[in-house]
Chains A and B, each alone.
Chain A
Amino acid sequence: MIKLENVSYTYMQGGSFEKKALDNVSLEIKSGEFIGIIGHTGSGKSTMIQMLNGLIKPSLGRVIIDGDDLSDKKVKLRDVRFKVGLVMQYPEYQLFEETVLKDICFGPLNMGLPQSEAEDRAKFAANMVGLSESLLDKSPFDLSGGQKRRAAIAGVLAMEPKILILDEPTAGLDPAGRDEILTKIRDMHKRLNLTVLLVSHSMEDVARLADRILVMNSGAVEMFDMPSKVFGKGRRLEEIGLTVPQITKVMDRLRSAGIQIEDGIYTTGDAYRILLPLLTK
């Protein structure tokens, strides 16, 4: 349902600071998938996600969402933006309304929905991200950092997008706050059958949640595969400024010392299950 065909993008084309941010990218993401996107700063991942809801238009190539080519004049970008919800980095800086409820209603009201339906959606979205109803009448500025972040995500969710893109949703949060947001995102993905694209610098987070991981490097797709396959290529990931989860490094060290274990182990639970029989047999 998301399709990129030979997409390239050049910033400041023709200028002296001309820079190719995306270089002939082709990929397909199926409806209902959970995709993790990793890549160092400047690898092209932000440019790519902004293309998916029409904030940036490709210099070359086509972006197709649900069969609609976004460069087609007949396709209304406004509709695309409701369908593809984008949660930017530090989205809590975009909260502005008097109450949390009003803030979450902003999107649905903008879509032209009546007040009552907007509020129903807002309440549902708030519940989905784990904000209790008692917080809805508060000023968004009285919430904690983690709550603000979740209110901002609810604001996007209330537009009932089919595709939810989150750019670094856990940046700056502590481990408990991070776990809470990631659990909520996983719940939404499952309960609402959302297609989720999660951009993260945290290999552990991506490893835990994604069906497939898209690795971007220098504006191109470096890998696009299951976590076990991607984290099985630790050396390449390090060459391109990324890393693998610490547990993968432990298992890689054991394997290179001659212990017979599979590669691409990326959770502590899997490592435990593999090691236990080896230590006790």
Chain B
Amino acid sequence: MTDNIISIQDLIFEYKDEDTGEINRVLNGINLDVHKGEFLAVLGHNGSGKSTLAKHMNAILTPTSGKVFVHGINTSDAAQLFEIRRRVGMVFQNPDNQMVATIVEEDVAFAPENLGIDRDEIRKRVDSALEIVGMTAFKRHAPHMLSGGQKQRVAIAGVLAMKPEVLVMDEPTAMLDPSGRAEIMNTVKKLNREEGMTVVLITHYMDEAVQADRTVVVDNGSIAMQGTPKEIFPQVDKLKELGLDTPQSTYLIYMLNKHGFDFDPAVLDDENCARILLERLKQHNTDLEGVAHD
């Protein structure tokens, strides 16, 4: 076995339109491995197939042809469904659709209870999961009184309580405000870096994808680009063609380089952008002073 937790091989997924009888191909030969411990972002415009791809990672959907393996288990093997779902936990877009109980800690306990785990162990798991997402103080609250970001953190805790090997998140911040989005991204990064959790984040927010170790861009059911964020985001024109955009910092440097500068194009955030601009501005001023003194 390699260190691939999920291995996707020549994945094709089609469905039949009930009205027209036409066959629609959503995924068109995807090959992708998810490595143990990595933070992978999957980008793509609406309808690109990225959510369909995510749903193959825990056998919500199974391939029309090709294979998907989770920890070496073929997801098309219906007898193994339980094992697959236990290993790959999913968090979806709408937090309100994911709450099942009337008290936060009961909601988090729902999955491990279904796994038939004994009481003491459930108690431990629930407490630890709530601790990791920073929601311990709310454990006796009613979910509907929480903010969107808090609800999503409870949803993540619910998945963590199953002790999965991979956390797959399908646009978990799409319905949240900026502070809610920041809460989720901080939680995800903490999980990945401190707890070693493998994370697959489906998103169309570029500022989220830049925080990943690796980015895959899905377009028209195929993988159009893949690499580190520093490799992907400077390709401004190509991303635009694929209906995506770039962080503003990257775009500013891209425009300056178009004008003839030679800044390192792999700039993804405000801190680095300001740093390289500042270096150049200071250098430029020193040169000017040098000329003035001569």
Contact = CB atoms under 8 A, between A and B. Distances in A.
Interface of A: 40-42, 144-146, 171-177, 201, 203-204, 241-243, 245-247, 249-250, 253-254, 257, 259, 268, 271-272, 275-276, 278-279, 281
13 contacts: A144-B46, A174-B243, A175-B204, A176-B244, A250-B274, A253-B278, A254-B274, A257-B274, A257-B278, A268-B251, A272-B256, A275-B256, A281-B288
Main SS at interface, chain A: helix
A172 B174 contact: yes
A250 B273 contact: yes
Contact of A41 (B45, B46, B147, B249): B147
Contact-residue size bin, chain B (C-beta under 8 Å from the other chain): 35 or more
B178 interface: yes
Contacts of A201: 176-178, 181
B284 interface: yes
Contacts of A253: 270-271, 274, 278
Contact of B46 (A40, A177, A276): A177
Contacts of A254: 274, 277-278, 281
Contacts of A250: 248-249, 252, 270, 273-274, 277
Contacts of B148: 41
A208 B277 CA distance: 24
Contacts of B207: 246
Contacts of B248: 204, 245-247, 250, 268
Interface of B: 44-47, 93, 147-149, 171, 174-182, 204, 206-207, 243-245, 247-249, 251-252, 255-256, 259, 261, 269-271, 273-274, 277-278, 280-281, 284, 288
Contacts, number: 108
A281 B46 CA distance: 44
Given A40-B180, A201-B177, A257-B274, 7 more contacts: A40-B178, A172-B93, A172-B171, A174-B243, A201-B176, A203-B178, A272-B256
- Shortest 10 CB-CB distances between A and B: which pairs? A253-B274, A176-B243, A249-B270, A241-B179, A174-B45, A247-B248, A246-B248, A175-B245, A174-B204, A250-B270
A236 to B, nearest CB: 14
A278 B249 contact: no
Contacts of B178: 40, 201, 203, 241-243
A204 B270 CA distance: 14
Nearest to B181: A201
Contact of A279 (B149, B245, B273, B280): B280
Nearest to A243: B178
B45 A177 contact: yes
A242 B182 CA distance: 10
Given A175-B243, A254-B277, A259-B281, A271 B45 contact: no
A136 B125 CA distance: 53
B252 A247 contact: yes
Contacts of B177: 40-41, 201, 241
B147 A42 contact: yes
Nearest to B203: A174
A42 B146 CA distance: 10
Contacts of A245: 248
Contacts of B147: 41-42
A204 B249 CA distance: 13
Nearest to B178: A243
Contact of B252 (A146, A173, A176, A271): A271
A260 B278 CA distance: 12
A144 B284 CA distance: 51
Contacts of A204: 248
